[in-house]
Amino acid sequence: GQDVMPEVNTVLAKMRRFSEAVRSGAWTGYSGQPMTDIVNIGIGGSDLGPKMVTQALAHYAQPGLRVHFVSNVDGTDIAETLKLVRPETTLFLVASKTFTTQETMTNAHTARAWFLQAAGDEKAVAKHFAALSTNAQGVAEFGIDTENMFEFWDWVGGRYSL
């Protein structure tokens, strides 16, 4: 078999740098303000796993950084979440292995349209959206900088994408 650990460790290190920048306030949005809210957009394992870990580790959470989860394709879920956050200080995590999952992408496009209504600049998407995916082309077409894409491999099922 092939030793996959070097690739896995590279992605884990990239995730650590990104998450430390967000938690420390070094990661800022288009307005120069640090993130105060993170919205995870996913369905199934791309929602349940992150939600479970967030709840289990709530005691260790960064004060002042709120986490929200959107998984329902019913527009009420994303609409109610967007009422709680500000575009200037919100980071969206789009979790879709293929970056084509209908429910996830419907919510992601709704969030993107809401965000752009305030930001007014397509380039600002790169500072407010990150992806967990294997589809670099789809991620880039959405406007997410692939440097902010955390990949996993075909041999990892989407439900294990935590």
Question: How far apart are alpha carbons 5 and 85 in whole angstroms?
Answer: 37
Mean residue pLDDT of the chain comes to 94
2 three-class SS: coil
**What band does 153 get if pLDDT is binned at 50, 70 and 90?**
confident
At the fourth CATH level, the homologous superfamily of domain 5-153 is: Glucose-6-phosphate isomerase like protein; domain 1 (3.40.50.10490)
For the entire predicted model, the pTM comes to 0.94
**Largest Cα–Cα separation, the chain:** 50
Question: For residue range 2-54, what is the model confidence (pLDDT) as tens digits?
Answer: 999 999 999 999 999 999 999 999 999 999 999 999 999 999 889 998 999 99
The length of the chain, given as a count of residues: 162
Question: For residue range 89-135, what is the model confidence (pLDDT) as tens digits?
Answer: 999 999 999 999 999 999 999 999 999 999 999 999 999 999 999 99
Question: How far apart are alpha carbons 95 and 108 in whole angstroms?
Answer: 9
Which residues, 6 or more positions from 46, have their beta carbon under 8 angstroms from its beta carbon?
Answer: 40, 95, 96, 97, 101, 104, 132, 158, 159, 161
What pLDDT is attached to residue 154? 77
